[in-house]
Amino acid sequence: MLLVNLGTPDEPTPAAVRRYLREFLSDPRVVEIPRVLWWPILNGVILNVRPAKSAAKYASIWTAQGSPLAVWTAKQAALLQGYLGERGPKPPQLLVRHAMRYGNPSVAAVLDELKAANATRVLVVPLYPQYAAATTASVNDAVLTWQLRQRRQPELRFINHYHDDPGYIDALAQRVHSHWMQSGRGDRLVLSFHGVPERSLLLGDPYHCECQKTARLLAKRLDLADGEWLVTFQSRFGKAKWLGPYTEPTLVELARQGVGRIDVMCPGFATDCLETLEEIAQEARDAFLSAGGRSFEYIPALNDQHEWIAALAAITLRHLQGWPLEPEDRPSLEAQRVRARAMGASS
């Protein structure tokens, strides 16, 4: 099983961020601008200006263990291995490994490891509950690109979305309830999702609809009335129109309207990362308080929450149904190589 998250620089330095951004922003799924127009902008402007600014932001959230996204993703994979070991086929029949779409460990490198471990079937599980071409489809692209280079290809299955999965919704609700029990409840619950260009919606991408459904189901699960919650979109990039309403301007407007305290959650992020810890918990917080807001509470991502890992285990087990998991009665890849070398020497 391959658990895939977006990715992170190896270090909070301009050089590491530049490598990461080059890979990320070179993906045609992420930036749907003709290469002849985009390449001069990316290599002539963005990669010369943005790395230093982004590195400072990464440094503000970096931990002794490294990037929060990398730390939480690795922990989720380890916990999922344990949960599946209790509820499903026991290791080593079912291996769980994690990879990053951009950065390390790469999708190709981890698939090589799974193949070397004699894996003949791979379930690909993107850590994106809502489907978007720029995220989920890009993960699928990376897996299939690796598959093109394989002589003996493993069987593949892909999970495209689980935005309305009851276990996922319950995990979100439990996270909110726990926060409210510890810190009290705000005047509004703002559900901030990562933005994408509005053009994606017009082209048929289901992301906007799936974000809205996640929010509606969560609000219903929390028994919230209309007006007590709202959906916004963050992380705009460039001058094109993106999905709205935009998170930070909305928070500023709420403060100016006299809303004293808000709680902000990012349901589309399975792990805390730059977009949640810096963009929301720091920048958006400062904007709200500077506009007259009294109190800002960020509700953490699902991370290693028990209800979330249990939901993820249930989702993956459903997608594994009907797929034999017992090791096939055949030699390992290394044994096959040894045999091939022996046959070559004797001929």
> Rounded to 5 degrees, what are φ and ψ at 116?
-65, -25
Continuous segment of H or E residues that includes residue 143:
helix 138-148
Surface-to-core class of residue 160, CB atoms within 10 Å of its CB (0-12 exposed, 13-18 middle, 19+ buried): middle
- Compute the half-sphere exposure of residue 245: CA atoms within 13 Å on the CB side of its CA: 13
Residue 105, token pair as written in the block: 């460990």
Task: Return the SS3 of 300.
Answer: coil
The DSSP result for 228-288, as a single string, is SEEEEEE---SSS-BSSSBHHHHHHHHHHTT--EEEEE-TT-SS--HHHHTIIIIIIHHHH
Residue 7's SS3 state is: strand
DSSP single-letter state for residue 224: P
Q: Give me the domains of the chain, ranges plus CATH numbers.
A: 2-161+306-336 (3.40.50.1400), 166-299 (3.40.50.1400)
Residue 328 DSSP symbol:
P
Sign, CA dihedral 184-216-197-275, equals positive
**Does a cis peptide bond (omega within 30 degrees of 0) precede residue 245?**
yes
In Å, how far from its chain's centre is CA 59?
20
Cβ burial of 237 (10 Å; 0-12, 13-18, 19+) is: middle
Q: Hunting for tokens 């009294």 — which residue is that?
A: 294
d(CA 234, CA 219): 20
Continuous segment of H or E residues that includes residue 189: strand 188-194
Q: Which residues contact 228 (CB under 8 A, 6 or more apart)?
A: 188, 189, 219
Asked whether 192 and 251 are in contact (CB, 8 A), the reply is no
pLDDT in tens, the chain (347 residues): 999 999 999 999 999 999 999 999 999 999 999 999 999 999 999 999 999 999 999 999 999 999 999 999 999 999 999 999 877 655 457 899 999 999 999 999 999 999 999 999 999 999 999 999 999 999 999 999 999 999 999 999 999 999 999 999 999 999 999 999 999 999 999 999 999 999 999 999 999 999 999 999 999 999 999 999 999 999 988 788 999 999 999 999 999 999 999 999 999 999 999 999 999 999 999 999 999 999 999 999 999 999 999 999 999 999 999 887 555 444 455 555 665 566 555 54
